[in-house]
Chains A and B, each alone.
Chain A
Amino acid sequence: MDLLSLSSGLLYTAFVIYLIAFVFFAATIKDKQQEKQFTLMNKIAISTTILGFIAQVGYFITRWMASGHAPVSNMFEFVTFFGMMLVLAFTILYFIYRIELLGLFALPVALLIIGYASMYPKEVSPLVPSLKSHWLYIHVTTVALGEAILAVSFVAGIIYLIHQINQSKTTVKTTWLEIIMYAICATLGFVIITTIFSSMDYNATFSYAVDEEEMTLEYQLPAWFGPENGELVTDDKMDAVFTTPGWMHGAEAPRKLNTLVWSLTAGLLLYLILRISLRKRIAAAIQPLLKKANPELLDEACYRAVAIGFPVFTLGGLIFAAIWAQEAWNRYWGWDPKEVWALITFFFYAIFLHLRLSRGWHGEKSAWLAAIGFAIIMFNLIVVNLVLAGLHSYA
């Protein structure tokens, strides 16, 4: 067996082990013991998580050996690595605070992220000259770790919110919480839809003209939104129903819009199925499972993750980034969208810390901020790469 297939085998193994660890963490809910004690089920759950992490480290090392460079150079590799760092960050916070509920939520998020990553092309891609530097792995790994620790603050924050927010009537807060639940459904929807159609080898090619130049666009999902003046080339495939609005100019915008609409629809379907079968808001359905939660501890874990993650993110996302940019592009700062959004992330968590430490924004306010922070990180990871073209758009 060659290194590369060993590598993908290990990643698959890690995914399955995380899934099992998640089941173990779910089992701790039923644990009647006091929360502060380290029950057997707890130990099994965290050990399984660590085992999964080791398997994923195995994936990382073997892929590095196979490709000759740190596997953090394209969307699949980076997002996978981010998922791995999320597990690491969760493990660190778990050993500080011993909150098993954190695992119950962090692992599904990590699974979703790794699942999302595997929807991108998995081939080993060559490095263009500007990426050939030790800073590739120094910068990218630190950024991923920093963002992952910040993501744990989101996880703690969301548990806090589900636990604390009054679900007896519909309010702005319950609505926002449901929007977060829907966003998670939409991500899952994207993974499911993409998996279904890629297992069917679905492919429809459209040809269209830009400035009298013939272009083609391949769809891996049935096209609802086709390119302007596009023509379906592949036989026996669904033709586009709508035309992509003309103001969407980004590279391959029609296909991205199509994927987005598919994901949102699939997510809506998932959400509605859950909502109807539960007969209440999803957050309201989760709330009773969190009886054991200690809101004060969750609040501190939410803040502490920011306190730990903020310096790591600043070091990786701004300082290491600037040093490398100076070496590769001869300017330490260039206002590239990715850079700007890293600065925005920095600004945001600086605000978070000032409000918390100097103006006493604890509890719910702090938890909502953690959720917004995670949205900014995800925006920088996904939207900036895919929509706002720039030096970092490697997918």
Chain B
Amino acid sequence: MSIIKCSTCGHQNKEGTTICEKCGKPLDYDQQGTLLNMRYDGSAIRSKTKNRSIVDKIWNFFSSIKVGVSLIAIALIASALGTIYPQKMYIPQNIDPALHYRDQYGLSGQIFYQLGFHNLYNSWWYMVLIALIGISIFIVSIDRGVPLYKALKNQAIKRHPNFLKRQKLFGEYKDYNEEDKTDFINKLKKHRYKITENDGHFLAEKGRFSRWGPYVNHLGLIIFLLGTLFRFIPFMYVDDFVWVREGETAVIPSTNQQYYIKNEEFIFETYGNDDEDAIFEAALQNTSGPVPKHFETSAIIYEDVSKDVIGSEPELKEINSGEIIVNEALKINDLALYQDSYQLNEFQTMSFKLHEADDEEEAAIAEFTVDLTDPESEYEFDNGYRVELNRFYPEYELDNGQPRSISNYPRNPGFVFFVHGPDIEEREASFLAIGQNIPSGDNQYKLSLTDFGVRDVSGLTVRKDLTLPIIGLGAFIFMIGVIQGMYWQHRRVWIHQGEDRIYIACHTNKNWYGLTKELEKVIDGTSFTMVQDQEKNNDT
């Protein structure tokens, strides 16, 4: 590696250094007469100096701001494309996505689907894009952050006059007295500048920590992105769902049958039933249906404490109870149960009576109730009659004239009953469903629905996410870094004692207006005139 030797002090600087580390003399001889480039304080940046091996080339690619910004711009456009139509997770789950996009959005929807944009954010290329941004952030931070840190840590107090002359804000003063100088320095102190001295030369500095802001926020982003990757480690993340009916106890999925939940009661309230809802009256008139106000599951959590014997009955011990409300999950160790959805008034029981088909009074010969979650196959009565439940369709539907059930949930039950009795030769069959009562032939007896019981079903999301603390930490560090970098600035004032004159130069990494205002206040009352903005003078 070549070395740049400073012509004034003889210090050996690394290749790529533009300001001598020791005396602060500008080394960019080709740029004489222009303002000094103060980025990274003139220190050597790896990506600007090495470009030989393949490693150098990869390093240089990722450490380029241009590349980083381009990657973000591509991610921006890609993200926007994904919002043209709803993503896969927001379309009805029981339809083939290919058909859904074609039927709903026509040709453009088909193209959207064919390009895989319906699942854009989980696509490999989107993830690669985000990963590339992560790598770029990481490399650029090391490439720039480390040299900058070193340069500022070891910065010289005394700088070469050429360094001062090539700062944006600069002043040169011949007629002054020591008092003015002390006055000026004291006023800088009052503005909370840290003053260091070397040989009658001064450096006033404040807010250096804001220079680390970008690197701190980049660190936060890297932690955040790593955190999102941890989701793919199995024990870190659980996402499951369970329906629990009122009064029912169900295994909580993804817990190895260790935990159970009982739905004691599901409470559902809508707006408009309360005096205090009067204020919403006008708004409620404009909505088509009732607006849900509150819903919650009153639940008990049990743990199976039976020893691990395969096939043994679970032995449930209550470990927690409470309400599961939207915005208020119920927690069991790392697991949280969230109120997600609900199904109101699902059938629980149906009661029937047996009577003579031509009896207008429909006087009951026998009465029985079918528990729809656990129907019995036969209902026997003392008077010799017997009803056999031949077929049960929890959610009945006619499919080409054939009854079938589309789910195991009793949302629209259908029954095929066989009635046996002392005066019935073989049996009498009939089909019953809501609104339907079809005898198989010229039946002597008839079954009629007399009553039914309903209950609510609560849909709960089972979620464990151990990545949250990591992600939270990343986000927190990011915020600290952004605030540190954006709300403060690094200001420096150099006072160089020349032989017959004094030089004052000022630099800030950003927000020059604020620095100018501050200097006006500091200089005001001393015999110094305001430092000149050399950039402005060059323009005019």
Interface residues of A (CB under 8 A from B): 4, 66-68, 97, 121, 123-126, 128-130, 132-133, 135, 246-247, 249, 296-297, 300, 304, 307-308, 310-311, 314-315, 318-319, 322, 326-332, 334-337, 340-341, 343-344, 347-348, 350-351, 354-355, 357-359, 384, 388-390
Contacts and interface: CB of A to CB of B under 8 A. Distances in A.
Given A124-B283, A126-B283, A347-B79, A332 B471 contact: yes
B284 interface: yes
A319 B479 contact: yes
A311 B279 contact: no
CB-CB nearest 8 A-B residue pairs: A123-B283, A123-B282, A330-B338, A125-B283, A347-B76, A126-B280, A129-B326, A337-B83
B173 interface: no
Contact of B326 (A297, A328, A343): A328
Contact of A350 (B39, B72, B487, B513): B72
Interface string B236-277: 000000000000000000000000000000000001000011
A95 B291 CA distance: 45
B209 interface: no
B138 interface: no
Interface stretch (B102-110, B298-306, B354-362): B102-110
A326 B327 contact: no
A129 B121 CA distance: 28
Contacts of A126: 271, 277, 280, 283-284, 291, 293
B279 A347 contact: no
Interface string B470-489: 01000100110011001100
B73 interface: yes
**Interface of chain B, helix or strand or loop or mixed?**
helix
A340 B336 CA distance: 26
Contact of B479 (A311, A330, A335): A311
A132 to B, nearest CB: 6
A359 B65 contact: yes
B476 to A, nearest CB: 8
A97 B511 CA distance: 11
Interface string B10-24: 000000000000000
Nearest to B340: A330
B68 interface: yes
B512 interface: yes
Nearest to A345: B76
11 contacts: A67-B280, A121-B286, A124-B282, A135-B327, A310-B486, A311-B487, A340-B82, A354-B65, A354-B68, A354-B72, A389-B86
Contacts of B82: 335, 340
Nearest to B68: A354
B104 A327 contact: no
B448 interface: no
* Most chain B C-beta atoms within 10 Å of own C-beta, residue among A67, A344, A384: A344
B72 A347 contact: yes
A65 B487 CA distance: 35
Interface string B88-109: 0110000000000000111010
Nearest to A97: B513
Contact of A129 (B65, B280, B325, B465): B325
A308 B486 contact: yes
A355 B73 CA distance: 12
A293 to B, nearest CB: 14
A126 B468 CA distance: 32
A124 B279 contact: yes
B194 interface: no
* Most chain A C-beta atoms within 10 Å of own C-beta, residue among B73, B84, B510: B510
Contacts of A329: 338
B513 A300 contact: yes
Given A126-B277, A128-B291, A314 B482 contact: yes
Given A314-B479, A335-B87, A354 B69 contact: yes
